[in-house]
Amino acid sequence: MQATLLRGVDLLWQSAVTGFYFTKSDLKTTLVPITCFAIAAAPMTELSRLPHIMFWIWIHLLQFDVSNQTLEPEEDMVNKGDRPIPSGRMTFRDALILRWLLIPTCFIYSAMYSIETFYASVSLVAFTVIYNEMAAHAGHFIVRNVVNAAGFASFEAGATLVAGSDPHILDGIAVLSICCSAGIFATTIQAQDFKDEHGDRMIGRQTIPIVLPSIARYTVIVPLLLWSGGLSMTWHLNPLISTAFLSLALFVGTRFLKYKSVPADQVSFYWYNVWLSIAHSLPGYYRMYRQV
């Protein structure tokens, strides 16, 4: 009996570790910013909602990442060897089975909150299929950015519904927040492509750094500054906070312009996600400001 229990605990632990390695590279780019977004946009009324938000985001992120990592596992063999398939933690066949089992899992889990959350899950899964299995990720950067933005909007809608006191309703601030965020992703998500340029060339992706190398880095700093100014006005930031937010955008954009090695681009992308998390938190500032 004790041996069976220990084997069960070990299996659960190994499954959790495997899930972590599937999603590891996207925890800072998706889990953290969208959690910040949901807390601010809903707003979150009780701290007990936080695990619900994070798990809803994570299980859908796992669905996306398993789909993505079963498309071209040979690419991960070269530069992402700690992922479950190249590391041997999971076979390609088992990963494919997991990929399709996760879809009904996400649907059922979302339906436990509300029909609206279920719709957000369906939308997110649909954009996952378009992006991965239908190869939008390998298409022109405009298509790639738009599908990315739509997928993130679905993420945010579902997470915000889970965070709020009523999982059936998104109020006007939440809807405006999602629209702003979709615009940010559509115009700045190329920040993630600089560090992956070598691998993207190998598989024929048409990202901005590849298609428009002479102006690619300016497509980060200009939108960041414009969005920082626009969000400052939209969410009524006071002059001090607005200046700090604009300064951060200038710092991030300048890093992309000045430092062009792969390690430097990885650090710059980290700072982009710091800016993004703050941008996603601004609706919460507005709610507090409006109540004062």
206 φ, ψ (degrees, to nearest 5): -110, 65
Q: What percent of the chain has pLDDT over 90?
A: 75
Residue 291 confidence (pLDDT) above 60:
no
User: Over the range 123-149, which residues count as b (16 or more CB within 10 Å of their CB) and which as e?
Assistant: bbbebbebbbeeebbbeebebbbbbbb
Averaged pLDDT for residues 79-103: 91
- 18-291 folds as Farnesyl Diphosphate Synthase (1.10.600)
The burial of 11, by beta-carbon neighbours within 10 Å (0-12 exposed, 13-18 middle, 19 or more buried), is given as exposed
For the whole model, what pTM was predicted? 0.89
Q: What is the pLDDT of residues 8-63, one digit of tens each?
A: 677 788 888 999 999 998 998 899 989 989 999 997 778 899 999 999 999 999 99
Q: Supply the pLDDT for residue 113.
A: 97
Type of residue numbered 195: K
246 φ, ψ (degrees, to nearest 5): -65, -40
CB neighbourhood size of 55 (10 A) = 12
Distance CA 93, CA 115 (A): 32
Q: Supply the pLDDT for residue 292.
A: 46
Residue 78 confidence (pLDDT) above 90:
no
Distance CA 215, CA 278 (A): 26
Structural domain spans, the chain: 18-291
Type of residue numbered 283: P
> What is the dihedral sign for C-alpha 279, 180, 29, 263?
negative
Which range among 193-207, 242-256, 270-284 shows the weakest confidence by mean pLDDT? 193-207
Q: Are 152 and 178 in contact, with CB atoms under 8 Å apart?
A: no
Length of the chain: 292
Q: What is the pLDDT of residues 139-165, one digit of tens each?
A: 788 999 999 999 999 999 999 999 998
Residue with tokens 């990442």: 65
Q: Supply the pLDDT for residue 272.
A: 96
Better-predicted residue by pLDDT, 110 or 144:
110
Q: What is the pLDDT of residues 169-185, one digit of tens each?
A: 999 999 999 999 999 99
Averaged pLDDT for residues 206-226: 95
Bond prior to 104 in cis (omega within 30° of 0): no
